[in-house]
């Protein structure tokens, strides 16, 4: 798989993320909630001025800096890596689109537009967005790839079982 495919995945992710956020900001009032599945899922429009779970509230400059730093190291890795497969391509594309999507929000709106609101077994999960999902799934896929390579490295080398 070509490395350039990462940028296609990234662009698609950014467009989806920003389109949904644009619709949310245009059609809902801040803190408005629309119940989708009662007592389980709602669309609630908030502007998160922090990071995950609301940490680092109002630290926009710091969070922009961290996002640029993460973005830089992702690009550097992508440019240096030679071995690409479809899972690695999807995971890095998702990571880039998530980081860029939330970075756009921080720069343009001084906070991230969040809207996915789940209530599970009486617990109100922190409200999040599609870019957050991209980041979590991208990291999850990379962990699977890392674990798979570690396991294969221990069990099998060039088709022979090793101790």
Nearest to 105 by CA among 55, 64, 44: 64
Whether residue 114 lies in the annotated active site: yes
Bridge partners (DSSP) of residue 128 are 116
Contacts of 88 (CB under 8 A, 6+ apart): 81, 141, 142, 145
Whether residue 58 lies in the annotated active site: no
Dihedral Cα 21, 24, 29, 31, nearest 10 deg: -70
Q: Annotated catalytic residue: which of 17, 105, 117, 132?
A: 132
Rounded CA-CA distance 87/95 in Å is 12
How many Cα atoms occupy the beta-carbon half-sphere of 34 within 13 Å?
10
Rounded CA-CA distance 96/134 in Å is 8
Q: Annotated catalytic residue: which of 17, 105, 114, 117?
A: 114
Q: Which residue numbers are catalytic?
A: 114, 132
């Amino acid at each position: 798989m070509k490395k350039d495919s990462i940028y296609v995945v990234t662009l698609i992710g950014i467009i989806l993320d920003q389109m949904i956020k644009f619709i949310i900001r245009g059609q809902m009032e801040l803190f408005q909630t629309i119940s989708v599945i009662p007592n389980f899922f709602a669309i609630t429009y908030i502007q998160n001025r922090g990071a995950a779970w609301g940490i680092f509230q109002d630290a926009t400059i710091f969070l922009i800096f961290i996002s640029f730093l993460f973005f830089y190291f992702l690009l550097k890795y992508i440019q240096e890596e030679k071995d690409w497969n479809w899972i690695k391509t999807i995971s890095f594309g998702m990571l880039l689109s998530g980081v860029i999507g939330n970075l756009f929000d921080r720069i343009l709106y001084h906070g991230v537009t969040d809207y996915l609101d789940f209530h599970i077994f009486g617990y109100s999960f922190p409200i999040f967005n599609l870019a957050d999902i991209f980041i979590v799934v991208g990291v999850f896929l990379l962990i699977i790839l890392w674990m798979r390579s570690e396991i294969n490295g221990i069990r099998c080398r060039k088709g022979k079982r090793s101790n």
